Amino acid sequence: MDNKQDILELLRKVAGGKVSPEDAMLDLKEAPFEDLDYAKIDFHRSVRQGAAEVIYGAGKTPEQIRGIVCTMGERGCRNILVTRIGQEAADYLKETIPIDYHAIPRLGIAFPEERKKRGHIVVATGGTSDMAVAEEAALTAEAMGNRVTRLYDVGVAGLHRLLSNLDPLMQARCVIAVAGMEGALASVVGGLVDCPVIAVPTSVGYGASFGGLSALLSMLNSCASGCSVVNIDNGFGAGYLASRINQMEGIKEE
C-alpha cells in the first residue's frame, strides 16, 4: 500500500466482500517499509505526507542509491527525488534507471512521470549565483505537482528588476525567496505579497557572510510578517514546504 488511493481501494474491496479482513490486514502489515540492510525504505510516507520518500544522495554510494531507487520503482513510486548527487553517480544510475538529471542543483528525478500542475509557486533569487539552491527548490516543487514560476537575479541591488515582476508575485500561493549576502530579498518580498514567504539563505557571499550565516540571521530577524526560514542552502526543504502550502485547499482560486 504505497499511497492513500491504494488503501482506500483495499478498504472498498473489504467492504464489498472481495477481500477478507485478514488478507487486508496482512497487506497493511507488510506495506510500511522494506529493509535493505543499509536502508529501510519508508513506503507509507506517501500515505502520511502525500509524497514518496526522498533520497539524500550525499554520503551514499551509487550502488546504494540504485538499490533504493530500484526497490521504490518496483513498488510503483514515481518522480523519486534524489538530491545532492554528482554527474558520475547520475551516469551510473542512468545505466539501469530512467532518470532526469539536473547538473546545476545536482538533483535527479527517477522514474519521471508527468503530473498535473496545481496552484502557483514563485521561486525568486537575489542573484544568479543562488540558482543551484533555487533550482533544487523549483524542481522539488514541480516533481510534487506544482506550477512554478522562476524569477532569477531580482535582488535588492537592482530593486526595479523585482518590481517589474509584481504580477506573478501577487498571483502566487507561496513565494520562495533565495538569497545569500545579507539576505534582504525575503524581507522585501514579504512586504509585497499576501501569501506565505519561505526564505532560503544561501552560502553565497564574501567572507563576512560566514557561509550563509549572515543571510540566515537577517532572514530570521525579518520584520515582514508571514516569512519563515529554512536552513542554509536547503532548497529541497523550501520546495517541499511550498508544495504543502500551495496544495492546501481554500487559499486562492487556481
Q: What nine digits make up the cell of 77?
A: 513510486
Supply the CATH number for residue 189's domain: 3.40.50.1970
By C-alpha distance, which of 182, 169, 187 is closest to 224?
187
| Mean pLDDT confidence for 128-145 | 96
Round the average pLDDT of the chain to a whole number and report it. 87
Write out the three cell numbers for 219.
Answer: 532572514
Q: Would you place residue 254 in the very low, low, confident or very high pLDDT band (cuts 50, 70, 90)?
A: very low
82-102 pLDDT, tens per residue? 999 999 999 999 999 999 999
Mean pLDDT of 115-127: 93
Q: What is the mean pLDDT of residues 7-30?
A: 76
Assign 3-state DSSP to the chain and report helix, strand, coil percentages, each to 5: 45, 20, 40
What pLDDT shows up at residue 34?
59
Among 79, 110, 141, give the residue marking a domain's end: 110
Does residue 63 sit in the same domain as residue 39? yes
Pick the more confident residue, 151 or 250: 151
H helices of 37-111, in order, are: 45-49, 62-74, 87-94
Q: What is the pLDDT of residue 20?
A: 86
Give me the pLDDT at residue 251, please. 45
Number of domains the chain is built from: 2
Looking at the fold, whether 190 and 104 belong to one and the same domain comes out as no
Residues 54 and 165 in one domain: no
Say yes or no: 150 and 83 in one domain: no
pLDDT of residue 1: 45
pLDDT on residue 17: 85
Taking alpha carbons only, the member of 131, 38, 120, 136 closest to residue 82 is 136
Residues 85 and 105 in one domain: yes
Domain span including residue 78:
32-110
pLDDT of residue 23: 76
The predicted pLDDT at position 29 comes to 59
C-beta pairs of 110-114 under 8 Å, 24+ apart in sequence: 110/69, 110/72, 110/73, 110/79, 110/80, 110/82, 111/69, 111/72, 111/73, 111/77, 111/78, 111/79, 111/80, 112/78, 112/79, 113/78, 113/79
In a domain, 21, yes or no: no
Do 180 and 84 share a domain, yes or no?
no
176-206 pLDDT per residue, tens? 999 999 999 999 999 999 999 999 999 999 9
Q: Compute how many other C-beta atoms are within 10 angstroms of the C-beta atom of residue 223.
A: 8
Tell me: do 106 and 123 sit in the same domain. no
- Where is the domain boundary, 110, 132, 151? 110
- One DSSP character per residue, 184-233 reads THHHHHHTT-SS-EEEEE-S-SSGGGGGGHHHHHHHHT--STTEEE--TT
Q: Does residue 231 share a domain with residue 122?
A: yes
Are 57 and 128 in a shared domain? no
Q: Are residues 131 and 230 in the same domain?
A: yes
For 203-241, how does the pLDDT look when each residue is reduced to its tens digit (9 = 90+)? 999 999 999 999 999 999 999 989 999 999 999 999 999
| Residue 247 pLDDT greater than 80, yes or no | yes
Q: Are residues 76 and 122 in the same domain?
A: no
pLDDT at 77 over 90: no
Higher pLDDT: 74 or 94? It is 94
Query: Is residue 19 included in any domain, yes or no?
Result: no
Read off the pTM. Answer: 0.83
- For residue 148, give every residue at least 6 positions away whose Cβ sits within 8 Å of its Cβ, in sequence order, or none: 117, 120, 121, 122, 123, 138, 141, 142
In the 8-state DSSP scheme, what is residue 164?
T
Q: Could you tell me whether strands 107-110 and 99-102 are parallel, antiparallel, or unpaired per DSSP bridges?
A: antiparallel
Residue at a domain's end among 110, 129, 160: 110
Is the pLDDT reported for residue 252 higher than 50? no
pLDDT at 46 over 70: no
pLDDT tier at 104, thresholds 50, 70, 90: very high
Q: What is the pLDDT of residue 78?
A: 86
Is position 7 within any domain?
Answer: no
The percentage of residues in the chain with a pLDDT greater than 70, rounded to a whole number, is 83
Residue 24 within a domain? no
User: Are 123 and 241 found together in one domain?
Assistant: yes
